[in-house]
Chains A and B, each alone.
Chain A
Amino acid sequence: MIRIGIDVGGTNTDAVILDGARVVAGVKAPTSGDVMTGVVEALKKALAEAGMQASQADVMMIGTTHFTNAVVQRRNLAQTACVRLCLPATASLPPMVDWPDDLRAVIGGHWWLAHGGNEFDGRRISPLDEAELVGIAAEIRAKGIASVAVSSVFSPVSDDMEREAGAIIARELPEAHVTLSSDIGRIGLLERENAAIMNACLRDLSRDVVEAFRRALAGVGFTGRFFLTQNDGTLMDAAFAERFPVLTFASGPTNSMRGAAFLSGVKDAIVVDIGGTTADVGSLQKGFPRQATVAVEVGGVRTNFRMPDVFSIGLGGGSHVLEGGARVGPTSVGYELLSKALVFGGDVLTATDIVVADGGIELGDPARVAGLAPDLVRRARDRIAEMLEDAVERARVSPEPLPVIVVGGGSIIVEKPIAGLDLIKPDHFPVANAVGAAIAQVSGEVDRVYSLSEMSRDAALADAKAQATDAAVAAGARRDSIEIVDVEDVPLAYLPGNATRVRVKAVGELNV
């Protein structure tokens, strides 16, 4: 089977071709402003390196950090309105109360509290008020906002009000995207609402990005199946990804960590994946990213996704070097590294320039950084080393001396062991992300209500697990590789017959 894995980072687009478990091509191309050009270039380079036609590939998996980077850098985010159905409950904490001030400011910090919402037992906190929502929609329109997130108290238990309010807002604002919190998250109003707001503010960007992928793949003659990778390392189709860009959050880190494990053969390690703009740091246990236990922060915002316990720091090959070397990042030249960095003929001082000036690597035109003040170079180099050491120490959860696997195109800025730990740079290290995407798994999910007066809870769980397994097989997973990764049951006390909502997720290897 021939698999193509693509990873679109802020700086580089990587492509790999796997024949079975063998990497037959691995290339990088600069990420272009329009995304598509970079994807096409990377694809063509990879196909040329492997001596193949696009039509020979069975399947293509794409991971993108576009959406995470947009939030981390506060760029390309739409002005967004959040409407919470709740009154009079929950007024003590308005939407976005726990957000960093700068991110809230970028999307406008627009929120409305409206009547509606449910009690835990399905009763209404207050009735939905259509006139109130029509009035809110008019205010949203007057502010020129076209992205709306709707949350409602206890919508994971009863989503009727959220759907009705969403329909009213969509009717009043036909141009707007509406994201419903119950489509994205689980119990925990603030975290679920945060995820819905972030999804809403990314919808303009996701439409552009997914469309760009579609055209790029058709343009090179690829005829197989096409997926995007999501935060848990599993795949989703393009139409779904366009509606739910927030589910790609942390797919990059998951892919790079699984890719790092696959390439190095090491199953327990700290993985540092350095791109052009950010470095993602996490810990690998038995070949899989360690899962976060409680709330995961993305760009400083709490969410309750099931995600790898990975954090990002604003350090990459393209990071701006500022204040005479005392500050590196978080801003970056990103995809413009090859035109803006000093060594590549530009006029912006970046982390890459520092490493070249320090003699750590030969790249571009070293003469262009020969004149940098030695003080500045030393300060910036020390600052980079300090940031990496802090990050690795933070990811260490025990004094055990685990090796550090360094992957990603920006890992040229790592010159020596970090925090005194063994350093591994596996073959194909620059394209570990794309390798991780190529080996991404397929999932099957079941989310249904069982009546426990008719069957035991164990029987209901067993039935849900069997259905999730079948769904994963139907989605293309190999049955003998399937594992149940998530089981959740929420009692719905208000329904007769001891009803329980059961959610089960099964994942397995793609069977091609």
Chain B
Amino acid sequence: MSDRDGYPLTEDDLLPLSLGAAVLGTGGGGNPHIGMLRVRELMRKGATTRIIPLDALPDDALVSEVGGIGAPLVGIEKFEQGEECLRAMRALEDFTGERFAAMISAEIGGANSMEPIITGLQAGLPVLDGDGMGRAFPEVQMTTYFIYGGKPSPAAIADEKGNTLVFRDVIDMYWLERFARDAAVAMGGAAGLATAPMRADFVRRVAVPDTVTQALTIGRTILDARKRRRNVVDRVIAATGATLCFTGKITDVRRELKGGFVRGEARIDGLGDWAGSEARIAIQNENLVLWVDGRPVVMVPDLIMNLELDTGEPITTEVLRYGQRVAVIAMPAHALMKTPEAMAVVGPQCFGYPELTFAPLAHAPVTA
């Protein structure tokens, strides 16, 4: 289990990893397909990296967390020049005079599962098997790193044009989110962000563990189910202990771009066991709250995912479309995401739903 060498990431891992990351992206996190192609291009040019467990590094080694910041809609249209995150990470090394030993993801869900791998490939560094969310969330402070005391500065943000900003002193994580978000919007809605260096012993304690491997497992389950002509939604549910919450057809999707976020709502008319019911999903980049017939059923930080009903393809919020037939499934968030400290940062009230009290999704028994 704790083989400290981890395993090399190969080109064959990329499709399952991107599929699994899309599922854990809970509708957001950006399109992992673009990131997957970028990783593939780097691998084909000879770059290599390894996925190593959280306990692989000495306590005082420094870990760099990088990720893209911006609206997913921007990510599928104006994708990266390529070295945004690398420039942001190098800016922090220049600023602190210290070198990083490994990369880690802020969010395993979506494109940001790939960013630390891309930077790892470019810088020749390994990538830790874990992340700061176990899913995707829209804002920088919504990671276990920040929730459990990670420093907000120094941080750096870089765009494709050559602009790199270092945030020298930032008083808390909300200010970092505000500055980084405004900078990303000014930079055209997408940028690479490197947050403050973290010690390996801290990361070992607060990161959601094994999530790179989890994403790979989910992706392999989907691909295997397709190959064996099994019902993909059923297999994903069996492999992850997820709950089937609704099936239906999308009847309306409304979106607004506001301050670098896509905010909106999808409406779904029930099919099958849910015929005659209507569901509503609130979106802020990710799926936030699911209501069925007006009753809140699942809410953040638990995970809400739309899978295409027949193929099990995860559907991100930017491609949600009228007429799609979906299965809405949910998974409980990691325990690190449900403590009182975490609730103050990622509970429903943090997304503009003060009327909702977090009711955790029960962990369904795994029936595989």
Contact = CB atoms under 8 A, between A and B. Distances in A.
Interface of A: 86, 88-93, 97-98, 117, 119-121, 123, 125-126, 153-154, 187-190, 283, 290-291, 293-295, 309, 393-394, 396-399, 457, 485-491, 493
Main secondary structure of the interface of A (DSSP, over half): loop
Contacts of A189: 76-79
A125 B188 contact: yes
B129 to A, nearest CB: 25
Contact of B77 (A91, A188, A398): A188
Given A89-B81, A294-B313, A120 B34 contact: no
A294 B306 CA distance: 13
B315 A293 contact: yes
Contacts, number: 112
Interface in B162-189: 162, 188-189
A491 B257 contact: yes
A399 B232 CA distance: 11
B151 interface: no
B310 A290 contact: yes
B189 A119 contact: yes
Interface stretch (B102-110, B316-324, B338-346): B316-324
A190 B34 contact: yes
Nearest to A157: B77
Contacts of B324: 293
B131 to A, nearest CB: 22
A149 B71 CA distance: 27
Contacts of A399: 229, 231
Contacts of A291: 323
Contacts of A88: 81, 160-162
A90 B82 CA distance: 7
Contact of A89 (B38, B188, B229): B188
B80 interface: yes
B37 A187 contact: no
Contact of A491 (B37, B255, B311, B313): B255
B41 interface: yes
A126 B37 CA distance: 25
B81 A92 contact: yes
B189 A121 contact: yes
How many residues of B sit at the interface, in one of the four size bands? Answer: 35 or more
B302 interface: no
Nearest to A98: B37
A294 B315 contact: yes
Contact of B73 (A120, A125, A295, A394): A120
A346 to B, nearest CB: 38
A195 to B, nearest CB: 14
B65 interface: no
Nearest to B251: A487
B313 A293 contact: yes
Contacts of A125: 78, 161, 188
B60 interface: no
A91 B315 contact: no
Nearest to A125: B188
Nearest to A126: B161
B73 A97 contact: no
Nearest to A97: B37
B74 interface: yes
Contacts of A493: 257-258
Main secondary structure of the interface of B (DSSP, over half): loop
B198 to A, nearest CB: 26
B231 A398 contact: yes
A294 B77 CA distance: 15
Nearest to A120: B189
Contact of A90 (B80, B252, B315): B80
Interface string B72-92: 011011111110000000000
Interface in B294-324: 308, 310-311, 313, 315, 318-319, 321-324
B254 interface: yes
Contact of A120 (B78, B80, B313): B78
B98 interface: no
B310 A397 contact: yes
Contacts of B76: 187-190
List the 8 closest A-B pairs by CB distance, nearest first.
A92-B82, A397-B310, A119-B188, A293-B308, A89-B160, A120-B189, A487-B322, A493-B257
B256 interface: yes
A366 to B, nearest CB: 37
B305 to A, nearest CB: 14
B146 to A, nearest CB: 27
B260 to A, nearest CB: 9
Nearest to B309: A397
Nearest to B258: A493
A486 B313 CA distance: 20
A120 B188 contact: yes
Interface in B224-273: 226, 229, 231, 252, 254-258
A486 B226 CA distance: 28
B311 A293 contact: yes
A93 B308 contact: no
A89 B308 contact: no
B322 A486 contact: yes
Most central of A126, A399, A491 by chain B CB within 10 Å:
A491
A394 B229 contact: yes
Given A293-B311, A294-B313, A396 B229 contact: yes
A89 B257 contact: no
Given A125-B188, A398-B310, A485 B323 contact: yes
Contact of B80 (A92, A119, A394): A92
Contacts of B323: 291, 485-486
A399 B310 CA distance: 11
Contact of B71 (A92, A120, A489): A120
A308 B233 CA distance: 21
16 contacts: A90-B80, A92-B41, A93-B38, A93-B79, A119-B78, A119-B189, A125-B78, A154-B77, A190-B34, A190-B37, A396-B229, A397-B310, A487-B252, A487-B322, A491-B255, A491-B257
Most central of A86, A119, A457, A487 by chain B CB within 10 Å:
A119
Contacts of B252: 487
A416 B78 CA distance: 51
A457 B315 CA distance: 24
Contacts of A86: 78
A481 B279 CA distance: 28
A218 B257 CA distance: 52
A309 B310 CA distance: 11
A166 B226 CA distance: 42
A123 to B, nearest CB: 7
